Structure 1
Amino acid sequence: MKNRTSVLIIGGLVILALIGLVGSFTSNPAGFIQKIAIMALIGFAIFFLVRKFSNSGPQKKEQRAFLKAARQSKKRLQHKSGDSNTKSSLGPISPLKKNKTKRKSPAHLTVIEGKKGKKKNRASL
């Protein structure tokens, strides 16, 4: 019984909205199209603002970390493949390149000390 009343109420609201839209369109078509365009632009603006500020969670950080790792891997592969070709063709390395120190990003890994030497007491058959 409750489902039937809610369907009737929602159906009535939809019918009234359609009647209002048709009436507005027939009385002033240019104004109707302008209002629809303005509502669509405002909707898109709100959508993009919400999307921009809500995606600052872990997915975005993981994506940045993945892209950084991919760049480092690509650079390492290019360095290995181009290492034999560049040394023979370029000759001595300039002093500016020797003095540059390469900073590595810290690995956020820790070693967990545990009871590695202790064996489990298992029942033997």
Structure 2
Amino acid sequence: MAFLKYRTSTIVVAGLIILALLGIFTKFTTNPAQFIQNIFVFAVIGLIIFFVVRKFSNSSPQKREQRAFLKAAKRSKKRLQHKGGETNIKGSALGTLSTLKKTKAKKKPPAHLTVIDGKKGKKKNRASF
């Protein structure tokens, strides 16, 4: 009567597990070579299914963003190498005169903004509305 406390689904799952273990044990005792071969075949099929699913589910948004980031990083690195060319370590660390001039020449001029003085001190006559 103790087994009546459990749900029927728990009893069914436990029965299936016991039958599976019994089947594995009898298969192993009657023909061990075929048992090992069957396990190997199941493992290979499982790996094939795993890699196929992984290949097709590889297009998640995070993976696409990561791929785009790596592509942009490669382009940036290539552009910087192309711009700089072959420079020695001492010259690139200290900076050459021409690169210092270029950076000063490329500096943006400050935006010329003017302040328009209005009638800030004068209060509105709100009663005229």
- Regarding TM over 0.5, the answer is yes
Q: Which residue does the alignment assign to 2:27?
A: 24
- Give the drift of 1:9: 1.0
* 1:85-104 map, 5 Å: 85=88
Map of 1:26-41 to 2, 5 A cutoff? 26-41=29-44
1:35 and 1:14 map into 2 onto residues whose CA distance is 19
Query: What amino acid sits opposite 1:25 in the alignment?
Result: F
What amino acid is the match of 2:43? A
Letter in 1 for 2:53: V
1:9 to 9, 12, 15: 12
Residue matched to 1:51: 54
Q: What residue ranges of structure 2 are gaps of 5+ in the alignment?
A: 89-129
Structure 1 CA distance for aligned equivalents of residues 87 and 39 of structure 2: 64
- Cα distance in 1, alignment partners of residues 80 and 7 from structure 2: 66
Percent same amino acid at aligned positions? 65
Matching residue of 2:77? 74
CA–CA distance in 1 between the matches of 2:39 and 2:64?
37
1:62 aligns with 2:65: yes
Q: Whole-Å Cα distance in 1 between the matches of residues 10 and 24 of structure 2?
A: 21
- SS of 1:74's equivalent in the other structure is helix
Gaps of 5+ in 1: 86-125
Alpha-carbon RMSD across the aligned residues, in angstroms, is 2.5
Q: C-alpha deviations, 1:57-90, integer Å up to 9, x for none?
A: 32332122111111123224434554655xxxxx
After TM superposition, the score normalised by the length of structure 1 is 0.58
